[in-house]
Amino acid sequence: MRLRRFLSKGGWNLIGADVTFTNDSGNSYTWATALANNKVQAYLAYYDSSPATASGRKYKYLSTVSGMDDISLRKNKGYWVYMNESGNLSLGSAGGSWANESYDVAKLRFSNGTDEKSFADAKTALWVENPQYWGRDDPEDDMEFMVLSSGNLNSWQGYFVKSSVDNLTLIRQN
């Protein structure tokens, strides 16, 4: 089993399923005890892109509280969690890459189910825009969304790729 661990900051963080939390003091919590000890907020947000019309697509909430949109973490979904303090979130059984790996962004490929395009061709066809990530050029600068037009994707850093095509799949070539 591979364990994916990443640093979380106070505020909104994008996660997957099977989560544990260790705060900066070294105290470790299961998801349930992190909730009970007010380390994280009980409501997780996720984007539901399944409706056929754009107006039907929206953020929904996951919680065990009655009346929420869903009550369980689901495979192949990303969730936003609000952290009340900084620490490490650990995702059990999460695939992906080991720490300190990088991947050339030019090697990414995209498929719409019938056609597959290189990263450059997908950009030319207006399927996608350059990936963005939360960071800074200089340690003295404020954090902001940075555009990655070339170079490497680094393991354990989150990237956002804006797509104008529904049901687009990102393919990584090794």
d(CA 142, CA 119): 29
Q: Phi, psi at residue 151, to the nearest 5°?
A: 100, -150
Tokens at residue 58, please? 């929206």
Give the type of residue at 103: Y
Instruction: Name the DSSP class of 143.
Output: P
Model pLDDT for residues 107-148, shown as the tens digit of each residue? 888 888 889 999 899 999 999 988 888 777 777 777 778 888
Segment 33-86, tens digit of pLDDT: 888 888 888 777 888 888 888 888 888 887 766 677 887 777 667 778 788 887
Identify the sign of the CA torsion 61, 67, 70, 73: positive
Contact 23, 10 (CB under 8 A): no
Give the Cβ contact number of residue 96 at 10 Å.
12
pTM exceeding the 0.75 threshold for the entire prediction: no
